[in-house]
Amino acid sequence: MSSATLASLLPLPVVILIVGAAVCPLAARISARAPVVVAVLSCGGAAGVLALFAPAVLDGRLLVEYLGKWEPVRGAALGIAFAADPLGLSYALAATVVGMILAVFTLSMLGGLGRRELGGYACLFLLLDAALVGVALTADLFNLFVWFEVAALASYALTGFFLERPTALEAAFKILVLTTMASFCVFIGTGLLYASYGALNFGQLHEALRHGTDPTSLIALGLLVAGYGTKAGVVPFHGWLPDAHTAAPGPVSALFSGLMVTLGIVGIARITFQIYDQPPPVLGVLMVVALVSALVGALLSLGQDDLKRLLAYDTVSQLGVVTAGLAIGTPLGLAGATYHLLNHTLFKSLLFLCAGTVLHSTGKERLSELGGLGRRMPVVAVAFVVGIVAIAGVPPLNGYASLGLIHQGLEETHQYAALVVLTISQVVTVAALSRAAWLVFFRRRSERYPSRESARPGMVAGFAALAVLCVAFGVAPAVLLSEVMAPAAGWLLEGERYAHAVLAGGGQVGRLPLSFDYLAPATILVVVGTVVVGVLLAWRYAGGRTPRFVEPLRRLHTGSVNDYATYLVVGLIVVCAGLLLG
């Protein structure tokens, strides 16, 4: 199939998902489970179309399609462009494949709901997935904002899906307020760039900005980073994330943590490298945000008694790690960030499915009320341990290679202080998750649980699929680095070539010569050290006591949407000031 033919199919995955979303409420009239079946088929169909692009895109080609054939004239673009590069395609494939797994899981966990409820749920689920694929493929700044809004609208309703629960209503209100503020930042930042340069196309904006930036364009960059940083849930823009992840149904929590939050990371990566061509000030700002997020998220997860809230704060930490990879700004750093972003999708989705199953089966999600589930739910226990080992970076699971690449990138650029902070955050992450595993699955509990359902076949299939993917992404790092991560880093670093390709209707970039020493003694020693110290720290606080050093951070997280909105505004001001003064 020619490149032109492939490029003409770029909008099709989004179309399949949106059509599926429209069909779901109608399918509910046939049977209660029909909408979820439609969701499974829609995600599978979209993934199948995206897979057609993989051979060409991973070979270094950029596929470009202008909707309505409104192609650029003399370097000026009016039409909306879809462009498939390795980063976007990998993220879109992750969104559809993991979305299909989560939809299958939903059939088992929520299949007993009524027709109307499942019809609405499946519709919103597919709209959110369509927005993720749209973000992955668009090459237009305003269209990126549109998909941001579609994802936001779907997330409000999914967060408050069990509206009879007061926590769901409160969480939906918080995400509404904070994401609306983020949308305003994105909209104003986009408007400033359009007013200054008369362009929205990524390629055209890059051409306009490559000769230098002025205060207006830097303020626009600060607004965009704050807006997409809020969607990513990095500190200090993270206030909505723990409540939304805790209140949503299990599969939705997995979708939020595994995929929706990474929408913000993809947005920041595109703006930083493919529009602004990585101006040095923004890399420094992103590194500070990354390190604070990694450490604060890990510390807050160690002090949690609620299992889903613990995992939510760990998401803040892991996205800080991904952002650190971006902030390195080198081939190794960007390859590691892309790798860890995909890995996060897998292991965090797995952990949230485990947490949702524990709640579904026991009616409890507080660590202090749980225990002894290892014998009652062995499949869930094994899946949870696999997720922890993956996040801990233990070979042969997937986190080992991605963390190793990011650490190697920090060493290469002599950012040893940042490396120390990330290592400390990794130790605390291992401690928090190990403590949760002990309290939920392995400590003895004398009191019997009320009789509830155990994991059904569709739920077991979800655990198995994600666990297998965690292993698969870990045992073949050389292939993934060469075939996926290196091309992704290449298109991010070659901003000028990307701009030319978008405006010319396609292009090619060579593969970067990247390598990762899987058996490097220093890397293995760091892994062993972080796991041992992390487990000892988990044992120290296994009794449920909150560490004293976490208390100041917990006091800042009051639960008040006013406080979180204040943190967002202060963060925006600090980011803009850092860019202007840098």
User: In this predicted model, what pLDDT tens digit does every residue of 486-523 receive, in sequence order?
Assistant: 999 989 998 889 999 999 888 888 778 888 888 888 88
Mean pLDDT of 94-115: 84
3-state secondary structure (DSSP) of residue 507:
strand
Q: Grade residue 31 by pLDDT with cuts at 50, 70 and 90.
A: confident
Tokens, residue 393: 């970076």
- pLDDT reading at 310 higher than 70: yes
Pick the most confident of 10-14, 302-306, 456-460, 522-526. 10-14
Alpha-helical (H) ranges within 377-481 are: 378-392, 399-412, 416-437, 457-475, 477-480
- As a residue count, the chain comes to 582
Would you state the pLDDT for residue 229? 95
Model confidence pLDDT, tens digit, residues 391-408: 999 998 999 999 999 999
Burial class (CB in 10 A: 0-12, 13-18, 19+), 479: exposed
Using the CB atoms, write b or e for 5-22: b if 16+ within 10 Å.
Answer: ebbebbbbbbebbbebbe
61-66/81-84 β-pairing: antiparallel
- pLDDT reading at 377 higher than 90: no
Query: Which of these, 328, 295, 301, 298, lies nearest to 407 by C-alpha position?
Result: 328
- pLDDT reading at 278 higher than 70: no
- pLDDT reading at 319 higher than 80: yes
Query: Which of these, 106, 100, 8, lies nearest to 48 by C-alpha position?
Result: 100
Mean pLDDT of 130-153: 95
Give me the domain span that covers residue 122.
Answer: 3-581
539: CB partners within 8 A, 6+ apart: none
Query: Which of these, 157, 353, 159, 128, lies nearest to 263 by C-alpha position?
Result: 128
Would you state the pLDDT for residue 453? 61
| Cα–Cα distance for residue pair 43/97, rounded to 1 Å | 7
Query: Which of these, 346, 348, 402, 428, lies nearest to 523 by C-alpha position?
Result: 402
Say what the pTM is: 0.94
Compute the Cα dihedral for 91, 92, 95, 101 and give only its sign.
negative
3-state secondary structure (DSSP) of residue 276:
coil
- pLDDT reading at 139 higher than 90: yes
Instruction: Give CA angle at 524 (521, 526), nearest 5°.
Output: 110
Would you state the pLDDT for residue 189? 96
Query: Which of these, 340, 177, 302, lies nearest to 244 by C-alpha position?
Result: 177
Residue pointed to by tokens 């992955």: 136
Using left for φ > 0, alpha for ψ between -120 and 50, and beta otherwise, residue 198 falls in left
Would you state the pLDDT for residue 280? 67
Radius of gyration of the chain (CA): 22
Mean pLDDT of 303-328: 93
- pLDDT reading at 329 higher than 80: yes
| Cα–Cα distance for residue pair 527/281, rounded to 1 Å | 32
Q: Grade residue 575 by pLDDT with cuts at 50, 70 and 90.
A: very high
Strand-pair partners of 508: 61
Number of domains making up the chain? 1
Query: Which of these, 323, 472, 317, 443, lies nearest to 374 by C-alpha position?
Result: 443
Q: What is the largest CA-CA distance in the chain?
A: 75
Q: Grade residue 244 by pLDDT with cuts at 50, 70 and 90.
A: confident
Would you state the pLDDT for residue 249? 79
Residue pointed to by tokens 């109307």: 116
- pLDDT reading at 2 higher than 90: no
Q: How many CA atoms lie within 13 A of 407 on its CB side?
A: 24
Would you state the pLDDT for residue 349? 93
